[in-house]
Amino acid sequence: MKKLLIAVTTALTMSAANAEEPDAAAGEALYADSCAQCHGPEGKGMASFPSVAGRDSDYIASRLEQYRDGEKVGSNSGLMIPNAADLSDEDIANLATYISSEFQ
């Protein structure tokens, strides 16, 4: 019985760890649907919209969390706050992973 309990606990722990890993493919889909129109298909920015290229995942995640929380952190906050309002923690992690790995 003890071995079964250990096996189940280990399987659940491994499953939870894998579920928390960011999904760059999901981030790519979100970026294409919501971000590329302003930040560009290569993340280099367009017009008054800043480049996200070269930013690390912690920076991207932090900014998206600030916008989601309604915090004004720059001149485009009025545009970013409503776009980030419905992002989940998972969405933010996926976007941050995709942007930081794709646009170096």
For the entire predicted model, the pTM comes to 0.80
Please state the three-class secondary structure of the chain as a single string.
CHHHHHHHHHHHHHHHHHHCCCCHHHHHHHHHHHHHHHHCCCCCCECCECCCCCCCHHHHHHHHHHHHCCCCCCCCHHHHHHHHCCCCHHHHHHHHHHHHHHCC
What is the reported pLDDT for 20? 79
Instruction: Determine what percent of the chain is predicted with pLDDT higher than 90.
Output: 80
- Give the mean model confidence (pLDDT) for residues 34-56: 96
What is the reported pLDDT for 2? 57
CATH of 23-102, one of 1.10.10.60, 3.20.20.70, 1.10.760.10, 3.40.50.1100: 1.10.760.10
What residue segments make up the domains of the chain, in order of their start?
A: 23-102
